[in-house]
Amino acid sequence: MNLQTNFTCRLCGDIDLKPFYSLGQRGQFKYFRCRNCTLVNYDLSGGLDQSQYIDLTDPTDNRAQKNYDKDASWRFINKQIPKPGKFLDVGCGTGRLLYLAQNAGWDTYGLELSAEAAKTAINRLKVPVIIGDFLTIEAEPNKYDLIALRHVLEHLVDPILALQKINFRLKTNGYALFEMPNIDALDMRLKRMLANTGIHQKQFPKNYLPGHCNEFCRASFQFLLEKTGFKLIHWETYSLKPVVNFLYRHLHIGNKARALVTKTNSLTAQ
Ligand SMILES: [Zn+2]
C-alpha cells in the first residue's frame, strides 16, 4: 500500500502514520497506525456515522440481557474502588450502572446524548441526567470521585480534549473507568491479517460508515493518560464470550479493554 495521509496523529501530532487496515465495500475507509504513540487514527475524510444506538432497556431489570455488560462494569468498580462517592456516568443510556451504584450508596449523575434514554433513567431512577455532549456542556470543577466512559472514547475525535474534560470534573485522586475496543486483541489481529492478505474480507452494507475515530491499545491509552494528568491503575481485557474471559483477563488479548485510572494532577488549561 502506498498511501499518504493529509493529517497528523491525533494523540501525539507525529506525521509518521502507516496504513494499518481499511474497512468498507471498497476498502475506502482507511485506518493508520502512528509509529510513535501507536494510536490507530481513522482518516476522517472518509466520513463518520455517529448516529446513536438507542437502547431503552429498563435499568432495574436484573434479567435483561442488555444490562449484563453494565453489571460486569459494576462488579469491577465495586471490587476496585474502596468507598462510594459522587459518580458521573458519561453516556449513561437508561442508567443501569447508575442504578447499581445508587443501590450501593453512591451519589449518582448521568450524562446522555439521547433524550429518550435519559428520560427513562430520570423517570425510573429519579437521578439527575443531563442531556448533552460532555465535551461542550458547562461543568463544575473537582466534583466527582468517579467518572465512567463505557464505549465512548473511541467515538470522540479529540481524545486529549476528552481526558482534559474528565480531569477538570474529577477530584484529585478521583477515578475514571474506561471501556473500549482493544485494537491489539488476538481476534482483531487475525481479522486484519486475513483482510490485509486478501484471504477474507468482511462484508459491509452499501451505506456503511465507520463510527470509531480512534482505536486504542494499552500503549496508546497510557500515552494519552500521561499527557492529561492520569495514571493507570488496572488494565484488563474481556470479550462477550464468558468462557474465554478468564484467560483474556490475564493475557490481555480480549477484544475489549477495561481500564481504571486515577487523576494524579490537575491541568491548568481548560
Ligand atoms: Zn501518535
Note the pLDDT of residue 6: 82
Note the pLDDT of residue 243: 58
Q: How far is the CA of 80 from the centre of ligand 1 (A)?
A: 30
Pairing status of strand 170-181 against strand 29-34? unpaired
Across all residues in the chain, what is the average pLDDT? Answer: 91
* Cβ burial 156-180 (10 Å sphere, 16+ → b, else e): beebeebbbbbbbbbbeebbbbbbb
Span 219-255, pLDDT tens digits: 999 999 999 999 999 999 887 766 566 665 566 677 8
Span 157-171, pLDDT tens digits: 999 999 999 999 999
Note the pLDDT of residue 254: 79
Q: How far is the CA of 184 from the centre of ligand 1 (A)?
A: 16
Res 270 pLDDT > 70: no
Q: Which residues pair with 33 in a beta bridge?
A: 18, 40
Q: How far is the CA of 16 from the centre of ligand 1 (A)?
A: 8
Q: How far is the CA of 133 from the centre of ligand 1 (A)?
A: 25
Note the pLDDT of residue 199: 76
CATH code at 65-182+218-263? 3.40.50.150
Confidence of residue 1 (pLDDT cuts 50, 70, 90): very low
Do residues 213 and 9 lie in contact, with contact meaning Cβ atoms separated by under 8 Å? no
% of the chain residues with pLDDT over 90: 76
* CA distances, 226 to each of 107, 164, 167, 179, 202 (Å): 29, 11, 12, 18, 35
Span 63-101, pLDDT tens digits: 999 999 999 999 999 999 989 999 999 999 999 999 999
Q: How far is the CA of 232 from the centre of ligand 1 (A)?
A: 19
Note the pLDDT of residue 4: 60
Q: How far is the CA of 36 from the centre of ligand 1 (A)?
A: 5
Do residues 179 and 147 lie in contact, with contact meaning Cβ atoms separated by under 8 Å? no
Res 51 pLDDT > 90: no
Indicate the DSSP class of residue 202.
P
Between 8 and 239, residue with greater pLDDT? 8
Note the pLDDT of residue 190: 80
Q: How far is the CA of 12 from the centre of ligand 1 (A)?
A: 4
Q: How far is the CA of 170 from the centre of ligand 1 (A)?
A: 26
Q: How far is the CA of 41 from the centre of ligand 1 (A)?
A: 8
Confidence of residue 193 (pLDDT cuts 50, 70, 90): confident
Note the pLDDT of residue 170: 98
Domain spans in the chain, listed from the N-terminal domain onward: 17-48+184-215, 65-182+218-263
Cα separation, 235 vs 261, in Å, equals 9
Pairing status of strand 170-181 against strand 256-263? antiparallel
Q: How far is the CA of 154 from the centre of ligand 1 (A)?
A: 15
